[in-house]
Structure 1
Amino acid sequence: GVTPRSGWAVDPFGYSSTMPYLLKRSNLTAMLIQRVHYAIKKHFAATQNLEFMWRQTWDPDSSTDIFCHMMPFYSYDVPHTCGPDPKICCQFDFKRLPGGRINCPWKVPPRAITDANVAERAQLLLDQYRKKSKLYRSKVLLVPLGDDFRYDKPQEWDAQFLNYQRIFDFLNSRPDLHVQAQFGTLSDYFDALYKKVGIVPGMRPPGFPVLTGDFFSYADREDHYWTGYFTSRPFYKSLDRVLEAHLRGAEILYSLALAHARRASADSRYPLSDYALLSNARRNLGLFQHHDAIAGTAKEAVAVDYGVRLLHSLTNLKHVIINAAHYLVLGDKDMYHHDPAAPFLGMDETRSSQDSLPERTVIKMDTSPRFLVVFNPLEQERLSVVLVLVDSPHVRVLSEEGQPLPSQLSAVWNSATEVVPDVYQVSVLARLPALGLRVLQLHKSPDGQATPRSSTRLYLHGRDVPVRKPKAVPLHVFPAAADDFCLENQHLQACFSGRTGLLQSLRQAGEEQVHRVSSNFLIYGTRTSKDKSGAYLFLPDGEAKPYTPKDPPVVRVVEGPLFSEVASYYQHVQTVVRLYNVPGVEGLSLDVSCLVDIRDHINKELALRFSTDIESDDTFFTDLNGFQVCSR
């Protein structure tokens, strides 16, 4: 029954400007942040700008404004919250009283407050409070009193409360000190500030500044930039997005199916228990937004627990999607029967454990047609290439009405030179209705009516490796490296290095100008000093150096009516650049994917760099939360 009014975010590593927007839209009236670059803190403190209205860059007035308090010092722990001197502030963290498990690094311990020392102790603390208050514009001061893993035992509650209450009682009994000190919540602080300056909560206090922009990247000292976490544990960052997409799809389909069932008075036969699976998935996804979860900075056992939760929810959401799609595709809803032991539809892919790559389901072809149900969770109709694995090259794809659909048959590869036997990928061009389902038919076909095959060229680059050829898809093997070559569709021409298999340039259809977009892999080392790159920090040992694998890459070029692609196999990474030959958005873009295994690399990071001839000077743009783009 509690409605939050204030945002508290002391430990994310830098702050996106999307956050104040979301908090404002959630009816919060103020927020607090802490981990901001130390140079920005210093400047804001010097100019009394640590409290401000945070506004979106694209907002012409003040509709997105939210009041924001920035903490001024190094940390959110007690030594860094009472004032500028941590040696003094630490003496007022009463969990650190002598005899406890933690102490003050500055070698001066706290002392319990007594009648004999309260005057001296209170004056010492008040001096820190006054120095801190000079960094802010109002006469109301916030002094947080906490840290990680605190208030887990009653003894600490008593130590903090009783000692501080003695200090507060002394301060409040001395009118000549001109101070009123009390315990309070974050919202109590903001309420007191609003009251002092005489405004309604959420309004801009007179004379306070307005800020636009964000607070990336964060550094807490020297050149210790906390940008290492951008790429830490990327597997789980990917799993997060997969779960998020499935959650959106499952929520939409469950809502549509349930509305349908209720209208037909059939909701008693529908698995309403799926709602609990949706709620649980939402909670696990929400939990993973923690600053040590999606950031990739949790301890190993905690990271595994997150992974187990994400996979559990992903599997449950696939069941929710299957149940809803089952109900919605039936022409006669009276035929619907929910049997958890025998799902009507199979899953598109499975994961054997929380740290496994997904394995796509292979559809076994038979004399009777197999049906494929495809869902589009977007609000726009899409013309999309749908990929499916089958166990026969003799396959045709028809619409629900029996019309043939454009398709392409390709081999599936286990490695650079070895195909998966008796498994083929069928790519189908299908028009998918907005927020809708489409049923496709897969028919085993006589040889004469087969799906168009893609053709494949394999360049071995002088390597003596055996090649296992596909049976039903043409393959041409070249012992040497390729010359430079290009792929194109009606929108784009993409040219590649024959030696590396990596992208070199792009040209838009109808234009003569070729844009250099060369890509190459690089290696960052880390410093030889004690401070090294890790889950949080990016501390390279200088400029990146070219990635030099043991062997040259095997390059595979696939060309077909719906898509063409270039796959390059290196020792530690395989990369695929795909160009779709279809109208619409997919044909306007290049699809780039990398599968990386650097387990034999110690203190090294692999990077893919795109170098262009775009003359943007020092300006570049980055995405913020998939919500907005920020100029830097």
Structure 2
Amino acid sequence: MKMQTALLPSLLLLLLTAAEVPGGAATSASCGYNGCPAAVPRRVNLHIVPHTHDDVGWLRTVDQYYYYSVQFILDNVIRELSLDSKRKFTYVEMAFFYRWWREQSNSTRDQVRQLVANGQLHFAQGGWCMNDEATTHYADIVDQQTLGMRFLNDTFGDCARPRVGWQIDPFGHSKEFAALLAQMGLDAFYFARIHFLDEVQRVITRRMQFVWHASRDFGSPSADIFAGDFVSGYCYPPGTNYEGGDQPVQDDPQLHDFNVAEAVRKFIVQVDLLRLAHRTSHLLLTMGCDFAYENARKNFKIIDKLIAAVNANTSQHNLTAYYSSPDCYTKAVNDEGLAYAVKTGDFFPYASGPNSYWTGFYSSRPALKRLVRWASGHLQAVKQLAAVGPAVLGDASERLDRLRQAQGVAQHHDAVAGTEKQAVAFDYALRLSDGIASSDPLWQARLAQLQFGNLSQRDGLRACQLLNASYCPVSELATGRFFVTFYNPASRLSWHSARLPVTGRYYRVLDEAGAPVTSQTIPVNNGTLRVPERNLSIAVNELAFFVASIPPLGYAVYSVEPCNSTDPGASVFTPILPTTNAGRSASEISVGLAFYIGMRGNSSGEQFRPSGAYVFRPTTDRPQTLSARIQAQVIGPVVNETHFNYNDWAYLVTRQYPGASSNYLEAESTVGPLPLDDGVGREVVAVYSADGLSASSGEFLVDSNGRQLMRARRDPSRPEAAQFRPANAIVSVADAARQLTVLTDRAAAASSRPAEGQLSVMLHRVTLDDDGFGVGEALRERGSDGRGLVVKTSHWYFLAEPAAAADRYRLLASQRHRSPLVTFSLLQPRSAWCQWSALTAPLPDSVQILTLEPWRQSPDRLLLRLENIFQANESSAHSGPVTVDLGATFSAFAILDAVELNLSANQRLADQTRLKWRSMQTEAVDQQPRRGPLTKSLEMTLRPMEIRTFEIRVAYKGGTL
């Protein structure tokens, strides 16, 4: 998405690149750093980086972009590279390149392999997409990067291994993403969107490039990465967009309009502006833009002339220009050995102007955000079930890849971000739905194999994806006993507060051992009844019960059957009763709903900027509190509820669970359809307040991509929109005595008024105007029935002593992401297989199996990642190193051998070497020792926040499947 406000009168794009000096020769190995040319001494080296930025969906769907444009870009670029060995090109989005590669002949594939081996065709970052950094979960980032990098490695080998991150379009940049790139072996990270005031200061102080210390938990150099911002975006410098109509270089003096001298003069002006902002003798100039190089012939031919003209007069401007690539640029800058400033925070919020804070997209399209997050946990569960035994379907790999690819596309910075056109949002949702449906036979076959010993029974297993809307045909239509399987993708014992749509009042629930379970039926509430997606439901009640213990990487099967009210073990029917005496909970936390009114405007100038898909710009600094009429209460043995009915578009239920799950409360809101035709754009927030809590520091905590926590400060000198941060899992505020924490179920905008002990999370938003940043539509989601989108959101929240808060929010956030896969069947499992686990025992609380999946289509190789989910110094019980014996961990298979890989699993860790950077160190950063090796007995240690990745060879244990 092209759209940058130039701070300097040029488009200076510092992308990491490297190049070949005209007439110079590369070293013997012609790819990677070995293929980079030597710098020209005592001269400014200008690295010209031809590139295209191909959005994986935005104004068109991903497939439309491919067949309208991208296929021709790649066709023509490959042709032009083959004509001249000096030319180079950088490509990023593997979702497109994979599509294109499948269509090519063997001769074209050989040609491309040669271009990669020659160092002409470079791949930057290498992910399936250029993912968003604000609204993505780290598990999805790792997965989509692995998917793309695996394709590159399998197709081209090490020559195609990306060495730099290339995030030129996402709207702000996260510390956790930088840390992940470092662990993937990347040496640098380049981007183009930071706060406009920050950028001005960096230009003035010549600190556009710096060393990012991206994690204090495992310190330097493991989490260090070189980073740089492009001054005015990522597109062509002014006057050089030749395929877009700019005047070409005319170098034939026998023709009219000979303009070489003037073209060079204007070009040098742009380069001189770059020089002012950088300290190095190497400058990176991006030569490309959105969907550029469809006319690659024209671009390359004119750039050839420009380079030749610049180098013909190098003595006049002390400049040598040449084609380059991001990795070679990085190596050249590293070779200079300069010391750089240090960055330890992040780049949120992003603002392109004083009224243009890009914090609205943190909550834009909340239903799509929830689908992406739900699909993330579902993908982990399906991969695990595919990995715990031999493949049971011949097309298992293809089916799994469809879901991987759909989820990979959904991480794009115009997908989960919610900044696409409505038709494209529908397409993202359709792709996820298709991917999920394609993968269903994998979990169905595995559970059928385990529970029934017969694959033919797999069609009798069903999932209900609209349980949050209280719709499930199996539980609603069952006239007799049915069975519910709760598969737990977490690495520790888990519990689950089940809620099933039913038509009756009385049911008997039995656990996996056949023991009765306390249960409660509650009428479907008025908020849920508003959800149009449940229009086929006949359920009038919900059956609530507590699943006390689900084995790690395993399941428990419960049975449910209708009964009479007088039967032993019958559920208790608890009606929703009107009340006027429902006070706040014993936790002394109040919850309410409020809304901001979005500014109207036509974006003709900064002062006329409205709220839109990207930008949040409220008319006031405080939201309007909705008047809550306490409608009713439910009191029962499983859950107590308080219902608040605000109006015909806002409904809130707070829940308190007794027993093992009582360490949190739940707030379930139903918001929508927001009025679309009254001239008011509403942006609705849930507001949590703790009596007496006051954080005088003005700080609050918010997660970075669901992982490390960042300190954010409320800044009264900036507008209300600037107070919001992206929250993917956790937002928290504390004083010396108490800490209030809210756990989200999707990406959302979050803020705090620390002095008031208050947290706000944005639930839903409708805007009436386009904010002028390219999407061309107001954010007016019509929903499935055309009346307006209805969004159901669930937050968990609690109050704790600060010293104990992390032990709760880390484990609860992990459970939120890895919630059980709930499946239904009318078939009774074998009695011995009503409970099962792929592990010998639960892992320690601080350890999580991040990844377990089939690998490289091999019958006996798996990809395994383990992580320590705690940060250093946040928990007295869990913040230290923890040792795991992999050889004794799994009951489903024996590990025959293991090789440790980097985080993206495209290189052996022992073979990974990264460039070292000098920094102007201004604060102590832990210098962590290199991680210990995997012992012969398969013992390994995880430090706080550390992720370790292994390719393991296994022998499945026949007795367990």
The 8 Å contact of residues 362 and 390 in structure 1, kept in 2 or not, is answered as no
* TM-score when normalising by structure 1: 0.78
Taking a change above 3 Å as real, the CA distance of residues 314 and 553 of structure 1, as seen in their structure-2 partners, is: farther
Q: What residue number does 1:17 align with?
A: 175
Instruction: Specify which of 396, 399, 413 is matched with residue 508 of structure 2.
Output: 396
Alpha-carbon distance between aligned partners in 1 of 2:476 and 2:198, rounded to the nearest angstrom: 61
5+ long unaligned stretches in structure 1: 80-89, 99-108, 198-204, 460-477, 488-492, 495-504, 507-516
Q: Deviations over 1:327-371 (max 9, x none)?
A: 1223xx3xx1336xx7031223459xxxx9673344268786422
Q: What residue number does 1:82 align with?
A: none
Alpha-carbon distance between aligned partners in 1 of 2:402 and 2:477, rounded to the nearest angstrom: 36
- With 357-366 and 161-170 compared, the bigger mean Cα shift is at 357-366
- With 403-412 and 16-25 compared, the bigger mean Cα shift is at 403-412
Would you say 1:542 and 2:661 are equivalent positions?
A: no
Q: What residue number does 2:264 align with?
A: 122
Alpha-carbon distance between aligned partners in 2 of 1:415 and 1:248, rounded to the nearest angstrom: 31
Taking a change above 3 Å as real, the CA distance of residues 299 and 520 of structure 1, as seen in their structure-2 partners, is: closer
Alignment of 1:439-458 (within 5 A): 439-446=557-564, 447-458=566-577
**SS of equivalent to 2:369:** helix
**SS of equivalent to 2:284:** coil
Would you say 1:360 and 2:472 are equivalent positions?
A: yes
The 8 Å contact of residues 375 and 438 in structure 1, kept in 2 or not, is answered as yes
The 8 Å contact of residues 402 and 438 in structure 2, kept in 1 or not, is answered as no
Q: What residue number does 1:469 align with?
A: none
Taking a change above 3 Å as real, the CA distance of residues 143 and 113 of structure 1, as seen in their structure-2 partners, is: farther
The 8 Å contact of residues 21 and 64 in structure 1, kept in 2 or not, is answered as yes
Instruction: Specify which of 521, 533, 537 is matched with residue 594 of structure 2.
Output: 521
The 8 Å contact of residues 15 and 216 in structure 1, kept in 2 or not, is answered as yes
Q: Deviations over 1:285-311 (max 9, x none)?
A: 110111111111111221111111111
Instruction: Specify which of 594, 610, 618 is matched with residue 669 of structure 2.
Output: 594
Residue type of the partner of 2:659? Answer: V
Taking a change above 3 Å as real, the CA distance of residues 557 and 387 of structure 1, as seen in their structure-2 partners, is: same
Q: What residue number does 2:795 align with?
A: none
5+ long unaligned stretches in structure 2: 1-155, 531-536, 603-607, 713-961
- With 356-365 and 519-528 compared, the bigger mean Cα shift is at 356-365
Would you say 1:386 and 2:498 are equivalent positions?
A: yes
The offset of 1:173, in angstroms, is 2.8
The 8 Å contact of residues 407 and 429 in structure 1, kept in 2 or not, is answered as no
Q: What residue number does 2:304 align with?
A: 165
Alignment of 1:197-596 (within 5 A): 197=336, 205-256=337-388, 259=389, 262=390, 270-330=392-452, 333=453, 336-338=454-456, 343-350=459-466, 359-363=471-475, 369-413=481-525, 423-446=541-564, 447-459=566-578, 482-487=580-585, 493-494=586-587, 505-506=588-589, 517-527=590-600, 530-547=608-625, 553=629, 555-569=631-645, 570-583=647-660, 586-596=661-671
Alpha-carbon distance between aligned partners in 2 of 1:424 and 1:173, rounded to the nearest angstrom: 79
The offset of 1:401, in angstroms, is 2.6
The 8 Å contact of residues 458 and 554 in structure 1, kept in 2 or not, is answered as no
Alpha-carbon distance between aligned partners in 2 of 1:458 and 1:326, rounded to the nearest angstrom: 42
Alpha-carbon distance between aligned partners in 2 of 1:327 and 1:365, rounded to the nearest angstrom: 26
Taking a change above 3 Å as real, the CA distance of residues 368 and 38 of structure 1, as seen in their structure-2 partners, is: closer
The offset of 1:52, in angstroms, is 1.2
Would you say 1:629 and 2:751 are equivalent positions?
A: no
Alpha-carbon distance between aligned partners in 2 of 1:142 and 1:290, rounded to the nearest angstrom: 25
Q: What residue number does 2:693 align with?
A: 614
Alpha-carbon distance between aligned partners in 2 of 1:193 and 1:159, rounded to the nearest angstrom: 30
**SS of equivalent to 1:281:** helix
Residue type of the partner of 1:588? Answer: N
- With 536-545 and 386-395 compared, the bigger mean Cα shift is at 386-395
Residue type of the partner of 1:250? Answer: V
Taking a change above 3 Å as real, the CA distance of residues 532 and 599 of structure 1, as seen in their structure-2 partners, is: same
Residue type of the partner of 1:393? Answer: R
Residue type of the partner of 2:621? Answer: E
The offset of 1:595, in angstroms, is 1.5
- Matched residue count: 530
The offset of 1:113, in angstroms, is 4.7
Taking a change above 3 Å as real, the CA distance of residues 604 and 49 of structure 1, as seen in their structure-2 partners, is: same
Q: What residue number does 1:500 align with?
A: none
Residue type of the partner of 2:672? Answer: D
The 8 Å contact of residues 621 and 631 in structure 1, kept in 2 or not, is answered as yes
Q: Which has the larger radius of gyration?
A: 1
Alpha-carbon distance between aligned partners in 1 of 2:469 and 2:505, rounded to the nearest angstrom: 25
- Alpha-carbon RMSD: 2.7
Taking a change above 3 Å as real, the CA distance of residues 438 and 227 of structure 1, as seen in their structure-2 partners, is: same
Q: Deviations over 1:152-178 (max 9, x none)?
A: 23xxx2332222222221222335232
The 8 Å contact of residues 429 and 562 in structure 1, kept in 2 or not, is answered as no
The 8 Å contact of residues 508 and 516 in structure 2, kept in 1 or not, is answered as yes
The offset of 1:397, in angstroms, is 1.5
**SS of equivalent to 1:621:** strand
- With 168-177 and 414-423 compared, the bigger mean Cα shift is at 414-423
Q: What residue number does 1:178 align with?
A: 318
Alpha-carbon distance between aligned partners in 2 of 1:214 and 1:283, rounded to the nearest angstrom: 28
Residue type of the partner of 1:524? Answer: I
Alpha-carbon distance between aligned partners in 2 of 1:317 and 1:111, rounded to the nearest angstrom: 53
Would you say 1:94 and 2:242 are equivalent positions?
A: yes
* TM-score when normalising by structure 2: 0.52
Residue type of the partner of 1:253? Answer: L
Alpha-carbon distance between aligned partners in 1 of 2:583 and 2:450, rounded to the nearest angstrom: 47
Would you say 1:64 and 2:223 are equivalent positions?
A: yes
Identity %: 25
